Chains A and B, each alone.
Chain A
Amino acid sequence: MSKKLKFVVLFFFLFSGTYFLYNYLYQNHRNIQKEPVEVSVSSSDLVGFFNKNESEKILNKTVEIFGKITEINSKSLTIDNKVQCSFEIEVNAFKLNQIVTIKGRCIGFDELFGLVKIDQSSIIK
């Protein structure tokens, strides 16, 4: 093998190694909005998962829920007083009692308020 070829091969491995390492270290965040929905339920069924101790079926998963808006805050909506969906943007184009479908990542059950929490939400309908 000529010296030049060795150099090219070495350079190639170094370059691709750095490239993969960089991509591993700085991989992108999950994009919940683009991920396929894994569970699609009503707000009360979502609470049911936690009451039946089946939370591992939905935790950290992309879920889609539907229900009536019962509370509006600047960056979150509460659905049927059972599920709180947090958004990364301001949500103010909504009315109380409006029926909506929301997609987001389920992060758990909050005992203080008795609410299931969803973050990185987006409106489907």
Chain B
Amino acid sequence: MKKNILFLLFLIFTISFNYAQERFATKSGMINFEASVPSFEEVKATHNSVSAILKSNGDFASLALVRGFRFKVALMEEHFNESYIESSKYPKATFSGKIKDFNSSELSGVQKDYVLLGTVSMHGKEKKIETTALI
């Protein structure tokens, strides 16, 4: 179950950026993940106050306080915090990395795919990932 959560962790950032000193930042980003299985109560949570900073050179950092994940079922939220993610021991989930070939001056209203490389760390473990970011 612990591994499942890690692997099925599906991050969607809907970020409202504030422009300040050549960096884009938000304090109210959103992370959703879902690890549901058929014919069972949906295992799905949302976090609405994730911090994220994107610098103009493509450096990206994000932090979520894991206790902020909200589930539909209260007992599931309790088990998630106490038995699986152990949020009192590991209160944070972070990501830090770099967006390849990113140039903030090229940004426009058109969405574009970028390659995002970095390290996810949560529950005391670190894992390198490479994924696509839509900006």
Q: Which residues of A contact B (CB under 8 A)?
A: 24-30, 56, 59-60, 73, 75-76, 78, 84, 86, 107-113, 115, 117, 119
Q: Which of B28, B53, B74, B91 contacts A28 (CB under 8 A)?
A: B74
User: In the bound complex, what is the Cα–Cα distance between A103 and B91 (angstroms)?
Assistant: 21
User: How many residues of B are in contact with the other chain, CB < 8 A?
Assistant: 21
User: In the bound complex, what is the Cα–Cα distance between A50 and B28 (angstroms)?
Assistant: 21
Q: Which residues of B contact A (CB under 8 A)?
A: 25, 27-28, 48-49, 51-53, 61-63, 65, 67-68, 73-75, 77, 88, 91-92
Q: Is the CB of A75 within 8 A of B28?
A: yes
Q: Is the CB of A76 within 8 A of B91?
A: no
Interface of B is mostly: strand
Chain A neighbourhood of B51, CB < 8 A: 110, 112-113, 115
Q: Which of A56, A59, A107, A113 contacts B27 (CB under 8 A)?
A: A113
Q: Is the CB of A29 within 8 A of B67?
A: no
- The residue of chain B having its C-beta at the shortest distance from the C-beta of A76 within the complex is B28
User: In the bound complex, what is the Cα–Cα distance between A27 and B76 (angstroms)?
Assistant: 10
Chain A neighbourhood of B49, CB < 8 A: 76, 84, 86, 117, 119
